Amino acid sequence: MNPCKQSPLATACLAALAAFTLPALAGNADPSAAPDAASADTTTLATTVVTASRAPEQVDTSLATVSVIDRGQIQASQAHNLLELLRHQAGIDLARSGGHGSAISLFLRGTNSNHVLVLVDGVRVSSMNTGALDWSNLPLAQIERIEIVRGPRAAYWGSDAIGGVIQIFTRRLDGPVFAVHAGSQDTRRVQAGIGADNGQAHFSLVVGHDRSDGFSAQNEDGFNYWPDDDGYRQRSLGLTAGVALGSQALTARVFRSENHVEFDNGEAEATLGPAVTDGINQTIALELAGPLAAGWHHQLVLGSGRDDLDTPVIQSRFETRRTSLDWQNMLALTPGQTLLFGVNWLEEEGFAADGFGDPYAGRRDNLATYLGWRGRQGAFDTELVGRYDDNSDYGGEFTASAALGWQVGERLRLGASLGEGFRAPNLNELYSPGFGGWYLGNPALEPERSRSAELGADLALGQAGTLRLRAFRTDIRDMISFTGGGVAQAENTARARIDGVELEYDWAHAGWALNANASWQDPVDRDSGATLLRRAKRKAAFSLDRELGAGWRAGIDTVFVGARQDAGFPDNLRLGGYGLVGLRASWVVSADWALEARVDNIGDRDYTLVHGFNTAGRSAHVGLRWQPGSGR
């Protein structure tokens, strides 16, 4: 691929970037004007995000569409897993093939499940074989904070960020914590941790164990139904340690989860017993960060990632190994201008054995550079970013994005953005030997590419709350489909268009708090005219909380999801819409102890996320949490 071949957006962004930054670099810029927040521990600040532009910024001034879920919100939700937590977020569709512990797929703004980049403490965690992440591998016990960026961010982060980026920050404790929960399907959860921080050094350790007897993963419509309960076990560990080295901070983070999940295997279970998949997800990050000079802040991160999936009953094993090195720099040019630049190196290795053909493996390297400029003048904020990736498999790829924000008076803020994205082919698409000669990989594949446009408005209504509106369009071309050569070989032929509108509303007053959102989208295969699978055209959710006094708090959560298309026979298989209501309550008994209770699906509604797979009916859970000082 010709590395100089660029889109009109990329060319325009580079020209504008040079026009704004070169004069500032050549002039008498005041580098001491860099924001102090650059060196802050942003993972603990509810209103500060780092994922959208790879630098600390306030949510209400970000030029990207960002949502933040902090530890307090996670705890108040009493959610058991990420599906129950994320299903209430705008622009997110989720599908799970079975009960707790079963594989979860996430679709962000109507894009495919492998069109969202997922990071844990800055380290990629998706499978190199499928390009997607099984979200059931990330236990809430280990999560301090989640940042959700909707819209393409490839110009900052590279491959996969077509629909957006979701970054998970693991927990960092400054004292002890212990919690136990129990509930329906004989579900049990326990977590314990300890942490300390003396200002110069800190240490945190969190361990967790979940298990459930579950329910039958499939029903009579499933291709491998067997009427037994399919349970799961999950063990997790999160470790963080850091020390100040002069003006620099050295931090190490380790996250690991081990999962044991039962699934239906048809009549074979009568002789072979329960079918089981064992999985391991692990990330390690070593970070050195701090100022290099007045107004110049850097962050150097060495990362390692592992994703394993082993299913002995069908002789299936998938492995992913990643090593990455990222050096990022933020430089204050003038009081209104900041320059962000960096270098990223990534090495990926994958192995696959699926029991149907010969095992296959692949390895590739990616070297990238990126440059971004953020400027503010009067009521206007501007952001321009460009990134070039050089990959050992598919060559060079340039992506760019541009955004403009306009503060119209004290209450109204308008925004517009354009962005490009791409996704590198995964190992299955490149090298799979197929099944009986069908669904063959293709080493000559090019990346999938996208262009997106977004318009937004934020309206501060004072005591009446805050209203946010977003309208977007995403076009994806060169999509990979198994349609070629008469034997369903992978090729770059498919196209998709997603038009959407998102509306969010937040309000809090006198002990009440309301969070509501609604999404309308039209995710279409432009070649066939069909709606993309498992994505609803309409979705709405709201949560209402009330502080009752004397340590009591109560809340109600609802989600309404429209009809969706699914794979199966006939081809126009349609899943009906559904609505779920959950109730929760908590009581802070003392400064150290709290009781929690939650009932999900109180209407005992039958609904389907994936054709042929069951979902839970009405279920209840109770819990006890000990965390000294948490109730003050």
CB 238 within 8 A of CB 206: yes
Residue 458 has pLDDT above 70, yes or no: yes
> What percent of the chain clears pLDDT 70, i.e. is strictly above it?
92
Give the per-residue pLDDT at 32: 30
User: How far apart, in Å, are the Cα atoms of 37 and each of 121, 288, 348?
Assistant: 18, 16, 33
CB 364 within 8 A of CB 336: no
**How far, in Å, CA of 430 to CA of 423, rounded?**
13
> What is the pLDDT confidence band of residue 632, given thresholds at 50, 70 and 90?
low
List, for residues 349-392, the tens digit of each pLDDT value: 999 998 777 888 999 999 999 999 999 999 999 999 999 999 99
3-class DSSP assignment, residue 42: helix
* Number of Cβ atoms within 10 Å of the Cβ of 196: 12
The answer to which of 33-47, 207-221, 492-506 has the lowest mean pLDDT is: 33-47
Contacts of residues 409-413 at CB distance under 8 Å and 24 or more positions apart, as own/partner, are 410/460, 411/459, 411/460, 411/461, 411/462, 412/457, 412/458, 412/459, 412/460, 413/60, 413/457, 413/458, 413/459
Tokens of 94: 């989720």
Residue 169 has pLDDT above 60, yes or no: yes
HSE toward the beta carbon, residue 557, CA cutoff 13 A: 19
**How far, in Å, CA of 11 to CA of 594, rounded?**
57
Give the per-residue pLDDT at 396: 94
Tokens of 594: 């709290």
HSE toward the beta carbon, residue 543, CA cutoff 13 A: 24
Give the per-residue pLDDT at 430: 92
> What is the pLDDT confidence band of residue 28, given thresholds at 50, 70 and 90?
very low
CB 456 within 8 A of CB 90: no
What are the φ/ψ torsions at residue 426 (nearest 5 degrees)? -85, 175
Which of 83, 98, 102 lies closest to 218, judged by CA?
98
The answer to which of 50-54, 224-228, 352-356 has the lowest mean pLDDT is: 352-356
Residue 496 has pLDDT above 80, yes or no: yes
CB 97 within 8 A of CB 610: yes
Q: What is the mean pLDDT of residues 264-275?
A: 89
User: How far apart, in Å, are the Cα atoms of 377 and each of 29, 195, 336, 372, 415?
Assistant: 15, 43, 7, 17, 15
Give the per-residue pLDDT at 12: 43
Phi-psi region of 39 (alpha: psi -120 to 50; beta: other; left: phi over 0): alpha
Mean pLDDT of the chain: 90
CB 102 within 8 A of CB 261: yes
Phi-psi region of 348 (alpha: psi -120 to 50; beta: other; left: phi over 0): beta
For the domain 8-626, what is the CATH superfamily, name and number? TonB-dependent receptor, beta-barrel domain (2.40.170.20)
CB 179 within 8 A of CB 191: yes
**How far, in Å, CA of 612 to CA of 534, rounded?**
13
User: How far apart, in Å, are the Cα atoms of 27 and each of 22, 295, 326, 378?
Assistant: 9, 15, 29, 21
Helix runs in 464-512, H state only: none
Q: What share of the chain is helix, strand, coil (3-state, %, to 5)?
A: 10, 55, 30
3-state DSSP of 209-234 = EEEEEEECCECCCCCCCCCCCEEEEE
The answer to which of 13-27, 80-94, 118-132, 143-157 has the lowest mean pLDDT is: 13-27
Give the per-residue pLDDT at 571: 65
Give the per-residue pLDDT at 272: 85
CB 549 within 8 A of CB 522: no
Q: Which residue has the higher pLDDT, 355 or 528?
A: 528
Helix runs in 408-526, H state only: 427-431
> What percent of the chain clears pLDDT 90, i.e. is strictly above it?
81
Q: What is the mean pLDDT of residues 472-492?
A: 90
**How far, in Å, CA of 470 to CA of 467, rounded?**
10
Tell the residue number behind the tokens 């509303």, with chain if given: 505
* Number of Cβ atoms within 10 Å of the Cβ of 550: 7
**How far, in Å, CA of 193 to CA of 211, rounded?**
19
What would the DSSP string read from start to end of 234-255? Answer: EEEEEEEEEEEETTEEEEEEEE
Give the per-residue pLDDT at 435: 75
Residue 308 has pLDDT above 50, yes or no: yes
Tokens of 86: 């994320």
**How far, in Å, CA of 124 to CA of 438, rounded?**
30
Which of 583, 586, 575 lies closest to 601, judged by CA?
583
Q: Considering just the CA atoms, what is the radius of gyration of the chain in Å?
A: 24
B/e letters for 235-261, b = 16+ CB within 10 Å, e = fewer, are ebbbbbbbeeeeeebbbebbbbbbbeb
Q: How buried is residue 26: exposed, middle or buried, by Cβ count under 10 Å (0-12/13-18/19+)?
A: exposed
Q: How buried is residue 168: exposed, middle or buried, by Cβ count under 10 Å (0-12/13-18/19+)?
A: buried
Q: Which amino acid type is present at position 315?
A: Q
Residue 124 has pLDDT above 90, yes or no: yes
Q: Which residue has the higher pLDDT, 436 or 557?
A: 557
Degrees (nearest 5) of the Cα angle 543, 546, 547? Answer: 140
> What is the pLDDT confidence band of residue 1, given thresholds at 50, 70 and 90?
very low
Q: What is the mean pLDDT of residues 469-489?
A: 91
Residue 17 has pLDDT above 60, yes or no: no
**How far, in Å, CA of 109 to CA of 116, rounded?**
10
The model's pTM is 0.91
What are the φ/ψ torsions at residue 563 (nearest 5 degrees)? -65, 150
CB 161 within 8 A of CB 474: no
